[in-house]
Amino acid sequence: MQLPLSDVIVLDMSRALAGPHAGMMLADLGATVIKIERPGSGDDTRHWGPPFVEDSEGQEQATYYLACNRNKQSLALYLKNAHDKRVFRQLVSRADVLIENFRAGVMDRLGFSETALQSINPRLVQLSISGFGHDGPESSRAGYDQIVQGEAGLMSLTGEPDGVPQRVGVPIADLLSGIHGVVGVLAALLERNGTGKGKIVRTSLLASIVGVHSFQGTRQTVAHETPTALGNHHPSIAPYGLFHCGDGASVQMSVGNEALWERFCAEFDLDPTTMALENNGERVRNRDETIRFVEDAFAPFKASEVVEKLNRAGVPVGVVRNLSEVYEWEQVASQGLRVNVEHPTLGEISLPGSPLRFFEIGGEGLTETTKQEHSPPPLLDQHRESVLRWLGSNDA
């Protein structure tokens, strides 16, 4: 099966999460991704835990590393060594994309500045991910996800009102940087089809968080209103959030327009013209009263009954699942969001799957062309022999 990036070769020199996530996304799209790691220790995430899982050889494998390295090959190179530098130059000369997230100046000191890489391979697309940007007064700072979540304002929007600032429960700055980086790489590869020349793509953890401020950003820049945390309720739509039911459980409901408000009220025998709740603007301004209004309506019912009633009324509703429930959910499985791979020392393991699916339209309708067979995150230097053989090296 021809995948979108089947002819693309990627050198993933990155470590931790932002760059490796970008590399994994490109691998899911069919690219051959060669992960370049430090000899002996490898990617930092190989040691981030617990949780660790003991493999058949008695070694601990970090589940963190397993999360962002499927469908890659691993080659360990020491880039201060003359032999390994030669191997790396050969790889660069044949690659389409290089990903790195070193601190500023590291690649230059190794002799592989952006200019040097371009001279080796003018068609190379270089993706560089930094913490706070590649220039500007704070470009030299090391960027770690939670630090940037705080610096970029995300933590000020997350948590309960008047509570301590909260980070998002996944490394969202890292993940968004990887996603934005992939968008840039794909655009550069498309442009290269016309120009024949590669391009340097830069993004940062800071840019990726500020870039998704969305309506919270324009609240500040246009309305000059500094947003604050509102817990589980939307700042501009009401009712939209988490509401408690009579059995102590909760549901999440979104009433995004007046038609939905009327359906909700009709289902629970409420008056949609109740004073101070007549329209969304009033409900937002009187959010506490809106929440009480909704939870009073839910109080006689179990959460399952509320879900049933809201579904019947066509009002968007959902429950809050833990991850055990998510990965057992039939809908998640139907979307390919859980994949099984055969790890060389752990045996069969399940991993979160790719969020993208592809289809072709033919005479018999849609045929899915999404990548179906996945390889496990590689052991350190697992593919040395095959990569060097591909390069034509005598050192395999």
Instruction: Enumerate the active-site residues.
Output: 174
At a CB cut-off of 8 Å and minimum separation 6, what does 290 contact? 238, 239, 277, 283, 284
Given a contact cutoff of 8 angstroms between Cβ atoms, the answer to whether 383 and 34 are in contact is yes
What angle (nearest 5°) sits at the alpha carbon of residue 69, between those of residues 68 and 72?
155
**CA–CA distances in Å: residue 97 to residues 93, 120, 224, 282, 345:** 10, 13, 41, 52, 30
How are beta strands 250-254 and 359-362 bridged, if at all?
unpaired
SS3 content of the chain, % helix, strand, coil (to 5): 40, 15, 45
Rounded Cα gap, residues 31 and 118, in angstroms: 20
DSSP-assigned letter for residue 99? E
Residue 204 CB-density burial (10 A; 0-12 exposed, 13-18 middle, 19+ buried):
buried
At a CB cut-off of 8 Å and minimum separation 6, what does 267 contact? 309, 310, 312, 313, 315
Rounded Cα gap, residues 236 and 226, in angstroms: 13
Please tell me whether residue 58 adopts helix, strand or coil conformation.
Answer: coil
- The residue type found at 101 is N
Backbone angles phi, psi at 42, to 5 degrees: 70, -160
Give the tokens for residue 326: 């998510």
Contacts by 255-259, CB closer than 8 A, 24 or more apart: 255/315, 256/316
- The residue type found at 220 is Q
Given a contact cutoff of 8 angstroms between Cβ atoms, the answer to whether 29 and 6 are in contact is no
DSSP-assigned letter for residue 25? H
Rg (CA), the chain: 25
DSSP-assigned letter for residue 63? H
